[in-house]
């Protein structure tokens, strides 16, 4: 029973355009939501997070939106760059610093 779902295994976007990655969750106890980026043969690296008391968090080209009523979050990357090509994982936890539950990831390909 997947608590965090990323229903799109892959996404292709042209350089300069917006990339939108989506994530749904089922556990209403989740309090922290994070996005991680992963390159081949490397560990996941933290990208951006949002707590349940907010509905938006922005960091440069990256913005995460949280819709608690829909149990949905999304990551927007604007503008997309070829270096953004990677696997993006959505993750959630009930308490900051404790175990993260991950989605299966979305592979983003940004073409120049």
Partner 1 sequence: DAGVIQSPRHEVTEMGQEVTLRCKPISGHDYLFWYRQTMMRGLELLIYFNNNVPIDDSGMPEDRFSAKMPNASFSTLKIQPSEPRDSAVYFCASSFWTGGVKNTGELFFGEGSRLTVL
Residue 29 near partner 1 by CB under 8 A: no
- What pairs with residue 56 in β-bridges? 65
Residue 60 near partner 1 by CB under 8 A: no
Contact assessment for residue 100 and residue 93, using Cβ atoms and an 8 Å cutoff: yes
Among 41, 70, 83, 112, the residue binding partner 1 under the rule CB under 8 A is 41
Residue 105 near partner 1 by CB under 8 A: yes
CB of 31 to partner 1, least distance (A): 8
Angle at 54 between CA 28 and CA 80, to 5 degrees: 105
What is the separation of C-alpha 5 from the centre of its chain, rounded to a whole number of angstroms?
11
* Helix and strand counts by DSSP (H, E) for the chain: 0, 11
Q: Which residue shows structure tokens 């749904």?
A: 24
Residue 98 near partner 1 by CB under 8 A: yes
Stretch that binds partner 1, among 18-26, 30-38, 61-69, 70-78 (CB under 8 A): 30-38
- Which spans of this chain sit near partner 1 (rule: CB under 8 A)? 32, 34, 36, 41-46, 49, 51, 89, 93, 95-105
């Amino acid at each position: 029973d997947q608590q965090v779902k990323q229903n799109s295994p892959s996404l292709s976007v042209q350089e300069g355009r917006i990339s939108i990655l989506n994530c749904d969750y089922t556990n209403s106890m989740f309090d922290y939501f994070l996005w991680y980026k992963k390159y081949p043969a490397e560990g996941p690296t933290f990208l951006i997070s949002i707590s349940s008391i907010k509905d938006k968090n922005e960091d440069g080209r990256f913005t995460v939106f949280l819709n608690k009523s829909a149990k949905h979050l999304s990551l927007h990357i604007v503008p997309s760059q070829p270096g953004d090509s990677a696997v993006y994982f959505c993750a959630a936890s009930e308490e900051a610093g404790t175990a993260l539950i991950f989605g299966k990831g979305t592979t983003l390909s940004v073409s120049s």
